[in-house]
Amino acid sequence: MFKTTTPLQRLRESSYALADLPDSVRTGEIGEYGQPLSKAVTDATVDDVAFAIQALGDEADAIFRRVTALKQLHDRARRAGARGADLAVEAAVRFEERRK
């Protein structure tokens, strides 16, 4: 029996680095309601891929900033003596106020 694969499937199977290629990418184009448009990765131009990389990089940066902020909140709450069921923000405020 013949195995039918698409070019995208062949790329995903050819390299571990390409295994996570998405089915679609967000392009630099804006839709009717101001939302970014998505396009099938098989229909994406090189520029579309570049815009998708930029958008994902921006998302990754935002996620990294949130992770860092949450780690700081956790660390300050723990330094204030908070335990697992204590409210983190209240404990972190106590820690900050003691530092002044």
pLDDT digits (tens, 9 = 90+) for 14-60: 999 999 999 999 987 888 888 888 999 999 999 999 999 999 999 99
- What is the pLDDT averaged over residues 76-100? 94
Residue 64 has pLDDT above 90, yes or no: yes
Residue 23 is predicted with a pLDDT of 96
pLDDT of residue 33: 87
Pick from 61, 67, 39, 63: nearest CA to 51: 39
Confidence at 4, pLDDT banded by 50, 70, 90: low
Alpha helix locations (H) across 1-100? Answer: 7-14, 46-79, 88-99
Task: Please say whether the beta carbons of 81 and 93 come within 8 A.
Answer: no
Q: Output the pTM of the full model.
A: 0.75
pLDDT of residue 60: 97
Confidence of residue 71 (pLDDT cuts 50, 70, 90): very high
* Confidence at residue 2, expressed as pLDDT on a 0 to 100 scale: 56
